[in-house]
Amino acid sequence: MSESLLGDKLLRFFELIQEPVRSKEELVENVRTALDGIAEQKNIGKVTICRSAPESKLRAQIENQTEVLYQSDSSIEETATELSFRTGEGGTAVLSYFPVKGCCWEEEEQHELMLLGNMILWAFRLEIMGELLQRVTTMDLAGEIPNVTGFMGYLGGMLAQGRIENYIGFYFNTHNFKYVNKVLSHQKADEVMWLYIRQLLQGIQEDECVARLGGDNFVALIRKENADAFIYRISDVNVKYKDATLEKNFNFGATIGAAELNGAQNPGEIMVRISSAYQAARQKESKEVVYYSEEIHKEIMRRKEVIADFHRGVVKQEFEVYYQPKVNTQSRYLCGAEALIRWRKPDGGLIPPMEFIPILEKDGSICILDFYVLDKVCAFLHRCIRENKPLYKVSVNFSKRHIENPHLVSEIVAVVDSHKVPHEWIEVELTESEDAKDYIVMSNLIDKLKAEGISVSVDDFGTGYSSLNMLKMIKTDILKIDQSLIPFGRYNNDNQKDCIMFESIVGLAKALGFQVVAEGVETLRQYEYMRDAGCDMIQGYYFDKPLPMDEYLNRLQFGQY
């Protein structure tokens, strides 16, 4: 019988087993050294660990491997003393001690070896758990590719090796996935996503990386020389989905931002570059890849600032409503006004809407602003009623972003009613949508507003997509013809054609029973032309610019121009 393992040797064994490690290889190395220190004394001939586990969400493939942790030079017995434990996700690990030839352990020695074996297994269990955890935190488990953490880690590795400049970074969003989710069940849509990702991975080199950020957003790191081929591939991906009941082809394009990575210092900086490029591509609704540039970055920062500033500005009531009179073409009498927003910054500067409205439109915050304007307009009308001022209808712009809001009409009515303003004094200006399916929603919206006694005009008529189509479908009261279609203006140089077009539009609109407002009328000549062409109302600098509320109140006293 060998002597008991007390004292320094045991201490050293424990130290080695418990030492923190960064990889399985390091752990195996430490265990080997630890066993080396006690093997001779304990007559240990060989120690192995056998890990087996089925494939699972957390494990890319079936695992079945035996690793030799210790092997002495002497020959060994064939039967081993074994110790096993579960590794989670259906896996097991078995540790086997083989004694040297001709030796067998007594009960007490067996207990001692079990104790040491348990320590070894604990160390492996920790390592395996670490591995699984690493996979959970760095992989997109549904797509079986890295997630954002995994991608950032990958970038970190490339940066550390000084190789990042040889690559192009990508950030892209797949088109059409909403459609897949609409037509297929959740599970089938996931399978299509899985197939799509397999297509993305085709031709990807060992040192390249494609990762999923979530939903249909992806990032990638691709060698410079392969970048064009990658763009070509992700711009047109075909996925054939087939199961027992269904066979369907899907075609996916992408909105793509890309960036050169020269000089990037850390993964975060790379993510900023590629996501800025992507946002620029999205804003431009670009079919081409947009490459990152300093200007793009500045523009995005500016947009972010505007949005952040906007929310502060709303709280601080920095927005003022201006009123631009509309004038009856025949009588030259005031007949209403359009409410137009201005942003008065704390430094006194007045910002015109075109500098912030398009940004708020993209962001969706425009919806807050439109209700802010409606509220101010209703307060103004209430004041006119209270002070017995002449009353005229005021139109308020409502962005197309509101189309997604199913409660829009009741919310508008609630604001108007809260100021006790009769509905007939409010008009809502809507713009045409590029999306024909929105016509149905828009048409419902118009019907509901009209049922509430609120009138509706279609703004910027003639600049939209299928204007004539829309005329058939919607029952609005008023068409506002866009400035760019007004003849004899700064935009127009072929007056004869302009006049033909303009007169046809007015003729058609009148025949269909709409009232027509001409916007952007600046000169006497234009005014006279509009009058003769049959426009009902004029809104333009020829009569008035948008006026601050007090000036507009003064105008109300004399309604004649």
**Which one of residues 201, 357, 501, 556 is an interface residue with ligand C2E (CB under 6 A)?**
357
Query: Whole-angstrom Cα distance, residue 186 to residue 192?
Result: 10
Q: From the list ligand C2E, Ca ion, none, which binds 357 (C-beta under 5 to 8 Å, kind-based)? A: ligand C2E
Residue 427 interacting with ligand C2E (CB under 6 A): no
Helix, coil or strand: residue 498: helix
For residues 399 and 476, which CB has a smaller minimum distance to ligand C2E in the complex? 399
Residue 397 interacting with ligand C2E (CB under 6 A): yes
Helix, coil or strand: residue 536: coil
Residue 397 interacting with Ca ion (CB under 5 A): yes
Residue 426 interacting with ligand C2E (CB under 6 A): no
For residues 168 and 478, which CB has a smaller minimum distance to Ca ion in the complex? 478
302: enclosing H helix or E strand = helix 294-315
Residue 256 interacting with ligand C2E (CB under 6 A): no
Site string for Ca ion, 411-440 (x = CB under 5 A): ------------------x-----------
Which parts of 161-266 fold into alpha helices (H)?
A: 177-183, 186-201, 227-234
Is residue 379 within 8 A of residue 419, CB to CB? The reply is yes
Q: From the list ligand C2E, Ca ion, none, which binds 544 (C-beta under 5 to 8 Å, kind-based)? A: none
Region near ligand C2E per CB under 6 A, out of 76-84, 188-196, 277-285, 363-371:
363-371
Q: Is 439 exposed, middle or buried (0-12, 13-18, 19+ CB in 10 A)?
A: middle
Give 174's strand partners. 254
Residue 353 interacting with ligand C2E (CB under 6 A): yes
Q: Which residue has the tokens 């297509």?
A: 199
Q: Which residue has the tokens 């007559």?
A: 43
Residue 457 interacting with Ca ion (CB under 5 A): no
Residue 487 interacting with ligand C2E (CB under 6 A): no
Which parts of 43-147 fold into alpha helices (H)?
A: 107-138
Q: From the list ligand C2E, Ca ion, none, which binds 540 (C-beta under 5 to 8 Å, kind-based)? A: ligand C2E
Instruction: Give the dihedral sign, CA 266/287/405/427.
Output: positive
556: enclosing H helix or E strand = helix 549-557
Amino acid, res. 317: Q
Is residue 34 within 8 A of residue 11, CB to CB? The reply is no
Instruction: Find the shortest distance in angstroms from Cβ 398 to Ca ion.
Output: 9
- For 495, phi then psi, to 5°, come to -65, -35
Q: From the list ligand C2E, Ca ion, none, which binds 536 (C-beta under 5 to 8 Å, kind-based)? A: none
Residue 498 interacting with ligand C2E (CB under 6 A): no
Residue 379 interacting with ligand C2E (CB under 6 A): no
For Ca ion, the binding residues in 518-537 under the rule CB under 5 A are: 519
Residue 507 interacting with ligand C2E (CB under 6 A): no
Residue 370 interacting with Ca ion (CB under 5 A): no
Q: From the list Ca ion, ligand C2E, none, which binds 30 (C-beta under 5 to 8 Å, kind-based)? A: none
Residue 447 interacting with ligand C2E (CB under 6 A): no
Residue 373 interacting with ligand C2E (CB under 6 A): yes
Q: From the list ligand C2E, Ca ion, none, which binds 546 (C-beta under 5 to 8 Å, kind-based)? A: ligand C2E
For residues 352 and 453, which CB has a smaller minimum distance to ligand C2E in the complex? 352
Is residue 259 within 8 A of residue 270, CB to CB? The reply is yes
357: enclosing H helix or E strand = helix 357-363
Amino acid, res. 357: I
- For 167, phi then psi, to 5°, come to -120, 160
Nearest to 525 by CA among 515, 536, 510, 540: 540
Instruction: Find the shortest distance in angstroms from Cβ 439 to ligand C2E.
Output: 19
For residues 112 and 482, which CB has a smaller minimum distance to Ca ion in the complex? 482
Q: Which residues bind ligand C2E (CB under 6 A)?
A: 324, 340-341, 352-354, 357, 366, 369-370, 373, 397, 399, 459-460, 519-522, 539-541, 546
